Structure 1
Amino acid sequence: MTEITAESVREKVKQDWSRIVNLLSQKVTLRSVSAEGITGEHMRRSAEFVAEELIKVGVDAKVVQSNNPDGSPGAFEVVGSKLVDPAAPTVLLYAHHDVQPAPDDGQWLSDPFTATERDGRLYGRGSADDGGGIAIHSGALHALGDDLKVNIKVFIEGEEEMGSPSFIPFIEAHRDEFASDVIIVADSGNWAWNIPSLTTSLRGNIDVDVTVKVLEHPVHSGQFGGPILDANTLAAMLIASMYDDQGNLAVDGVTADKPVGGLQRDLDEAQVRADAGIVDSYRLAGTGSLAERMWTKPSASVIGFDAHPVEGSFNVIADVTRFRISLRTAPTQDPQEATQALCNFLRRHAPFGAQVDAEPVDAGMGWAMDASSSAVRDAEQAMEEAFGQSPVNKGEGGSIPFIPELKRLFPDAQVLVTGPEDPQTNAHSPNESISLKGLEHNIVAEALLLHKLSQHKN
């Protein structure tokens, strides 16, 4: 058996580098936008491409079309395995091959569906999210080759950007094919391209549609304005009532957590402001560390609002309006509990007695890493060897609802959330990119991790 070290693995990755970059570049050109139809031919082509690439690195991979909960055809999934020893641990590698749309292509510096290299980064939609995850798995398996000593199962999903409606039914129908000791979800990122991280937590997410009604029909603002406030203004008052005077969300029953595993390093405010494009005059809301405000405390955003556009507006008092709240919940809070708390709060705080109706739309659980697990220790050591410095573990403010579902289905599996992104990635935004040097580090880290996991008995 070849001695597996960071240096030996890195040399293998460098020899394979042109294939890895070509894989990623071709993946970008496939335009696998699931929002344009998860059953479309473009999604089938994307899945078939990924399966072919996995076959190149020794995975017995195939494309399987899932079914939605209602029985209708679902996403094209890529599943596969590489079994080396029945007594060895089994590792499930996850990524997704669908990507976000790029409707604002005029804001891109290059064609979003043509991979373009600039200043050490590869630009293109899906270059990082989650083509980078696919590239990490492919590169790590190639680097280990015959020295792979764990059993591998692979699941590359085709509808992650659409909320994964058929994910759990598909897993439940193929439970034996996905049962594993460790699950590596390569759909997150690092502190920086050169500073590794494990993702320690993910917030949950719930959506609630709120209707505010004050009149049975619109009326003239000059005749009735004053004692009657329009529905849009009342909605604004209702939304504002959710916060205290420091900008903390203050909804009874919606809880907050501390950073999982403790806070190793707080986020840099100047960097956050630059990454988000915050206007200079804006003062950041809330109290506590920036990390807990963005990772483990709840946050609410109005993501949709029904109101008459300014163009063509006229002098009437709006009788009714509707808006949607997206509530990111603390990693450990039950989403149904948070949903009920939010709906109760909104109904109780109806301004001036307006009719307020709050209807739940969707709810997903958050997730917190088991910081004491052996897989976490192995991953942190692998990252330190690959990157040349200790990892700075971090939470994520976003949600991946299927991770707690995986834990429900496979309660004994250890879950690790890694990934190819960094603060400059711009996932879901114009000019998405991946650091190529960071990608190399990530591939080396995953190969070392798989090797370390092989040292444990099944």
Structure 2
Amino acid sequence: MADLSVDTLRARVAAALPGVRRDLEDLVRIESVSADPERAGEVRRSAEAVAALLEAEGLETRIVSADGGAPAVIARREAPEGAPTVLLYAHHDVQPEGDHGDWDSAPFEPTERGERLYGRGAADDKAGVVAHLGALRALGADLAVGVTVFVEGEEEVGSETLPALLAAHREELRADVIVIADSANWDVGVPALTTSLRGLVRVDVEVRTLTHAVHSGMWGGLVPDSLIALSRLIASLHDDVGDVAVAGLHAGPAADVDYPEERLRAESGVAPGVGFIGTGSAVERLWTKPSLSITGLDAPKVDGASNTLVPAARAKISMRIAPGDTAESALAALRAHLEEHAPWGAQVTVTLVDTGEATQIDATGPAYDVARDAFADAWDGVRPVDMGVGGSIPFIAEFLEAYPQASVLVTGVEDPDTRAHGANEGLHLAEFERVLLAETLLLTRLAESRA
């Protein structure tokens, strides 16, 4: 029987790492931006590259799609008799790179600086793809569980066709344990399992006070200004200390985790002298209480603006909802608030953009025990934190609904300074090696435990 001790697997991971990194860099060079229709060919090329990598490891591999969605990859190796099957999820599409001038190096040319590898998708989530690949490569013929690798191609645009994919391939994707490599660790040197995520409700709200624009001097002081009306409506969404003032939203307690203010300020990028908003612990405000942000405004630009009362103004509202709430209930509460707080009889139109359900995972049971021990060994004795995430990964709820008997482990390659979705996204290379080792240990021990 092969020696699969921690030291042996650590050495195997170290030996596989240079090739895995080359594979990651090749994937980063593919501009698989799912939000850009002009780069649909690049998304297809990315799927083909992922499929080729998994097929080279001996997995039965194919590219699939549903309802006209982006290409996904399913790669399988059947379980030995009596062994569990593990589904390994990641996504190969990436966010738009934004202004190239905001990057310190070309966004699609992987570049090492200091302890990190920079590039769009270097962490989110092509590193998740190759983390699965690297664990399989390190184990080779000693892999003793069934494995299905599922690499989605439209996570960054909301996984719209994921329910159809799960329905079409339900038995093919069925597993005892599901590992979703699309989250983060608590800190560099401190691993984590994500056990809660906030949901999402996004709406566009239009405030109209006029049928057409009029001169501000002739009508100002009598006719309500749509921009001021919108501003007053937006201001009604929070109380004086910054808590969300929308009635009917759920909030709950969070894990007892210390998040020092110095670290919060460094990681959030809050400007000097600016205070934090809301009440409760920092992690409650980030993980288990609702939040509400304005992420876009339609209004005339300051430069060149005329002395005119504009007839209507719009804002995009992004509301994160706490675990325990539902998107339907939260949307109804937000809509009611906006309609009830319209100033001066202004006409308010609320248009739903999208929603995503919040997630709460009961992270107890044999698979979670195995995972925690594997993480602790990979991080040299540091036990993983059970953490929440303020952002939303709505597709996790889809997996929980489709496979209620499976143990769902939400892991990831990111850390607080990864800057996913922003300029200078970067993967911490030492942490990535620990992620590879942790997953290799996890697959080995799930076989031994028959979890």
Given the two structures, how large is their TM-score scaled by the length of structure 2?
Answer: 0.96
Find 2:138's aligned residue among 123, 128, 143: 143
Aligned residue type for 1:15: A
Looking at structure 2, the residues matched to 294 and 269 of structure 1 have their Cα atoms a distance apart, in angstroms, of: 13
The answer as to whether partners of 2:33 and 2:39 remain within 8 angstroms in 1 is no
What is the match of residue 61 of structure 1? 61
> 1:159 is matched with which residue?
154
SS at 1:198 equivalent? strand
Instruction: Tell me, in whole angstroms, the C-alpha distance in 1 between the residues paired with 2:221 and 2:371.
Output: 63
Indicate if the aligned counterparts of 2:135 and 2:440 stay in contact, CA closer than 8 A.
yes
Aligned match of 1:2 = 2
Shift of 1:14: 0.9
* 1:195 matched residue in structure 2: 190
Question: For the residues of structure 2 that align with 1:373 and 1:296, how far apart are their CA atoms?
Answer: 23
Instruction: State the distance in 1 between where 2:253 and 2:42 align.
Output: 42
Structure 2 Cα separation of the partners of residues 133 and 305 of structure 1: 34
For 1:308-327, what per-residue CA distance to the aligned partner results, in whole angstroms no more than 9, with x for missing partners?
A: 11122111112211212111
Q: 1:344 to 1:86 in 2, by over 3 A?
A: farther
User: How far apart are the structure 1 equivalents of 2:12 and 2:206?
Assistant: 58
One of 127, 150, 163 as aligned partner of 1:132: 127
Alignment of 1:299-448 (within 5 A): 299-388=291-380, 389-448=382-441
1:39 offset after TM fit, Å?
A: 7.7
CA distance in 1: counterparts of 2:29 and 2:225, whole angstroms: 48
Counterpart in the other structure of 1:33? 33
Pair 191,253 (structure 1): closer, same or farther in 2 beyond 3 Å:
same
Looking at structure 1, the residues matched to 361 and 401 of structure 2 have their Cα atoms a distance apart, in angstroms, of: 14
Q: In the TM superposition, what is the alpha-carbon distance from 1:184 to its structure 2 partner?
A: 0.5
Where does structure 1 differ by over 3 angstroms across 4 or more consecutive aligned residues? 455-458
Query: Is the 2:200–2:320 Cα contact (8 Å) retained in structure 1?
Result: yes
Q: Which stretch of the first structure deviates more once superposed, 174-183 or 270-279?
A: 270-279
List gaps (5 residues or longer) in structure 1: none
Tell me the alpha carbon deviations over residues 370-423 of structure 1, each in whole angstroms, 9 at most, x when there is no partner. 132322222111100110111122111111111111111111111111010001
Alignment of structure 1 residues 76-87 onto 2, 5 Å:
76-87=71-82
Listed one character per residue, the Cα deviations across residues 138-174 of structure 1 (whole Å, up to 9, x for unaligned) are 1111112222221101110111111111111011011
Cα deviation, 1:256-302, whole Å, max 9, x if unaligned, reads: 1222xx32x22232222222321112111011111111111111111
- Which residue identity lines up with residue 67 of structure 1 in the other structure? A
Q: What is the SS of the residue equivalent to 1:34?
A: coil
CA displacement at 1:360 relative to structure 2: 2.3
Change beyond 3 A, Cα 1:161–1:367: same
Deviation at 1:5, TM superposition (A): 2.5
State whether structure 2 residue 211 is matched by structure 1 residue 219. Answer: no
Give, in angstroms, the shift of residue 18 of structure 1: 1.1
**Letter of the 2:149 counterpart:** V
Deviations 1:6-63 (A, max 9, x none): 2111100111121011011111111211122388221121111111111233322222
- Give the corresponding residue for 1:295: 287
SS of structure 1 residue aligned to 2:47: helix
CA distance in 2, matches of 1:214, 1:234: 8
